[in-house]
Amino acid sequence: MPSHILIFFVIIPIIIAVFVYVFAGLKSARLIAVIAQSAFLVMALFMLIASRTNEITISVGGYEGFLGIILRADNLAAIFIFLTVFIFLGLVIYNLRSEYNHTDRLYWFLLFILEGTLIGLFLTRDFFNIFVLMEVSTVVVVILLMHDRKRRNLFAGMTFIMVNIVVMQFYLFGLGYLYMVTGVMDMEAAAYVIAHMDTTELALPYALIMTSIAAKCSLLPLLTWLPKVNALTGSRFTIAALMSGLHIKSGVYLFIRFQDVFGGMASEFFLCIGIITAIAGIILALSQKDIRLLLAYSTVAQVGLIIAGLSLNDEYSRIGSVYHVVNHGLIKVALFLGAGMISYLYKTKDITKIRGLLRVSKPVAIANILAVLGITGATFFGSSISKYFMISGVTGALEWVFIFINFGTILVFVRYSAIFFGRPKGAVLAPDWCRESVVLCLGISCFALGVQPAINFLLNQQVELSFWGYLEKNIVFVISVVAAYLVYKFILVKRDFLRPLRRFDLSFKTMCVSIGAFFGVLLVVLKVG
């Protein structure tokens, strides 16, 4: 039965995880990991192909109607799952040779469980199951962040988990109202009921649920948690790559799903929030010196851009945003893994002290350059196409806002790409071929996503690029690069006026206040508009 593949896709990683934790030694754990991840990749590919023609659906246990939990793999879910499996395969190979990497069985256990939960999150159509899976993934991520016993930062981890629990209570409360109003726990059924309902009835559940999802995406009021946990002293670059590349994308996925369920309520509000988040993320990224913080704030900015693109209520913008999720996931993983190698080679995380990467390691430098070109939206890269589609739905002044955000991204990465040039100072270690190849593969895949067949295959839609429009965008891109370089050379280098923002941080109480404020503002917007 082909539809049972959905259940096994979630459960098998978990069984493997527990099996590895209980029985396997370290070497066999690595072997099992590689074999299993390759098998998962084949399965995900199969699912991606199968879901092109029609959706795969199963009610767990074969119960009729909406009595049981329904799993469904449509094209969107299949894309996200493929991204997940691909990134996990990269991570596993990256960690394969562990001479200087303290991977133990606990690490593999948590990695597999996180994979299972994320796949479950993308497959499930049950509201409460989403709650359970989000809690599990939060706890797993917290343990992963504190994996290094000696250098872990307990305080930030505790703040992270507590804020997440508070946010999940909002979700559960909203779910209660949703269940009260619609009487079902299934997404499709709820969407059907909601389509025939008065929108004022739905303001409260929508506001409660969206507050929690916005916090999961680290939108405006809570934009510091992701960089904060990424820059924990004990956390690794692999975990940071997972957080930035994948874990935050689960929030974006839920955002798409819930906007579909509620029929796109309050999309103007999320457009504004997304744009402000993007600009704030760029400004904070420009002020950072730590390489992880810079990349993490850049992630916040890109997620803001994606949310803004999704809220445009335009078919092409939506396609572009979904495609940008894939692009950005791969690019960020490549960047973070590359940054991990760089910080290992140079023994520092300060971006102003890293110079001359091209002389130290050609593959890492090439992969990083590819990723940087990808994220800025250079010609022929996947990201340029996704941004092209995203902007194609915008007109007027809003278009200039999007171009400005892209200009900001370019500015951040012009600053970042200073690490490629110059001469390295001090002793530098030799890189590991295994990691080099992974980073290089990821960098090349960023490039490969810009090919027309890849787009059509992934999105299952025949998209067409108008030649002149694309050329126009590329001219804008070139102009932005030149302008960004000039701004960097003549303003940013001379005067460090963003320095006060470097230690910008929110305490737990402030985070709670901002959750409440976000909820209140969203509710007011819904009631007024």
Binders of another protein in range 117-136 (CB under 8 A): 117, 120, 126, 128-129, 131-133, 135-136
Interface with another protein, residue 183, by CB under 8 A: yes
Task: Choose the binding region for another protein from 10-18, 41-49, 84-92, 356-364 (rule: CB under 8 A).
Answer: 10-18
Backbone angles phi, psi at 493, to 5 degrees: -70, -40
Interface with another protein, residue 203, by CB under 8 A: yes
Interface with another protein, residue 195, by CB under 8 A: no
* Total of residues contacting another protein (CB under 8 A): 90
Least distance between another protein and beta carbon 59 (Å) = 10
Question: Which residue, 191 or 369, is less far from another protein as judged by CB?
Answer: 191
The amino acid at residue 409 is T
**Can you tell me which of 193, 454, 487, 525 binds another protein, judged by CB under 8 A?**
193
Least distance between another protein and beta carbon 273 (Å) = 18
Instruction: Report the distance separating Cα 259 and Cα 214, nearest Å.
Output: 12
Interface with another protein in residues 275-294 (CB under 8 A): 290
CA distances for 292 relative to 20, 100, 419, 433, angstroms: 31, 20, 14, 23
Contact 462, 456 (CB under 8 A): yes
Interface with another protein, residue 192, by CB under 8 A: no
Instruction: Report the distance separating Cα 240 and Cα 288, nearest Å.
Output: 16
Taking residues 230 to 269 in sequence order and writing x for each that binds another protein by CB under 8 A, - otherwise, the string is -x-x------------------------------------
Q: Which of 302, 300, 320 is nearest to 312 (CA)?
A: 320
**What is the CB-side half-sphere exposure of residue 366 using CA atoms within 13 A?**
12
State the DSSP code for 429. Answer: P
Least distance between another protein and beta carbon 23 (Å) = 10
Helix (H) or strand (E) holding 70: strand 70-73
Interface with another protein, residue 41, by CB under 8 A: no
Question: Which residue, 114 or 278, is less far from another protein as judged by CB?
Answer: 114
Least distance between another protein and beta carbon 191 (Å) = 14
State the DSSP code for 59. Answer: E
Angle between helices 433-448 and 382-392 (to 10 degrees): 40
Interface with another protein, residue 15, by CB under 8 A: yes
Interface with another protein in residues 299-358 (CB under 8 A): 349-350
Task: Choose the binding region for another protein from 145-153, 387-395, 429-437, 477-485 (rule: CB under 8 A).
Answer: 145-153
Angle between helices 452-459 and 382-392 (to 10 degrees): 60
Interface with another protein, residue 32, by CB under 8 A: no
Q: How far is CA 70 from the centre of its chain?
A: 25
Interface with another protein, residue 191, by CB under 8 A: no
**Can you tell me which of 45, 50, 139, 476 binds another protein, judged by CB under 8 A?**
139
Question: Which residue, 340 or 377, is less far from another protein as judged by CB?
Answer: 340
Instruction: Report the distance separating Cα 240 and Cα 256, nearest Å.
Output: 24
Interface with another protein, residue 25, by CB under 8 A: no
Contact 521, 202 (CB under 8 A): no
Interface with another protein, residue 158, by CB under 8 A: yes
Question: Which residue, 176 or 469, is less far from another protein as judged by CB?
Answer: 176
**Can you tell me which of 57, 75, 173, 399 binds another protein, judged by CB under 8 A?**
173
**Can you tell me which of 5, 26, 50, 142 binds another protein, judged by CB under 8 A?**
142
Interface with another protein, residue 19, by CB under 8 A: yes
Least distance between another protein and beta carbon 512 (Å) = 5
Interface with another protein, residue 143, by CB under 8 A: yes
Least distance between another protein and beta carbon 349 (Å) = 7
Task: Choose the binding region for another protein from 25-33, 42-50, 105-113, 246-254 (rule: CB under 8 A).
Answer: 105-113
The three-class DSSP label of residue 64 is: coil
Other C-beta atoms lying within 10 Å of the C-beta of residue 63: 11
Interface with another protein, residue 106, by CB under 8 A: yes
**Can you tell me which of 205, 304, 309, 320 binds another protein, judged by CB under 8 A?**
205
What does the angle CA 107 – CA 112 – CA 115 come to, to the nearest 5 degrees? 125
Instruction: Report the distance separating Cα 432 and Cα 418, nearest Å.
Output: 23
Tokens 């080099």 sit at which residue?
A: 436
User: How far does the chain reach from its first CA to its final CA, in angstroms?
Assistant: 48
Interface with another protein, residue 182, by CB under 8 A: yes
H helical segments located in 288-314: 291-310
Least distance between another protein and beta carbon 266 (Å) = 13
Contact 243, 138 (CB under 8 A): no
Interface with another protein, residue 520, by CB under 8 A: yes
Q: Which of 29, 39, 158 is nearest to 106 (CA)?
A: 29
Instruction: Report the distance separating Cα 522 and Cα 529, nearest Å.
Output: 10
For 4, residues 6+ apart whose C-beta sits below 8 A from its C-beta are 58
Interface with another protein in residues 498-517 (CB under 8 A): 503, 505, 507-509, 512-513, 516-517
Least distance between another protein and beta carbon 489 (Å) = 27
Tokens of 465: 């690029």
String of DSSP letters for 334-395:
HHHHHHHHHHHHHS--BTTT---HHHH-HHHHHHHHHHHHHHHT-TTSHHHHHHHHHHHT--
**Can you tell me which of 41, 45, 55, 179 binds another protein, judged by CB under 8 A?**
179
Task: Choose the binding region for another protein from 14-22, 250-258, 390-398, 451-459 (rule: CB under 8 A).
Answer: 14-22
Task: Choose the binding region for another protein from 37-45, 171-179, 360-368, 415-423 (rule: CB under 8 A).
Answer: 171-179
Other C-beta atoms lying within 10 Å of the C-beta of residue 468: 8
Least distance between another protein and beta carbon 413 (Å) = 22
Interface with another protein in residues 58-77 (CB under 8 A): 60-63, 65-69
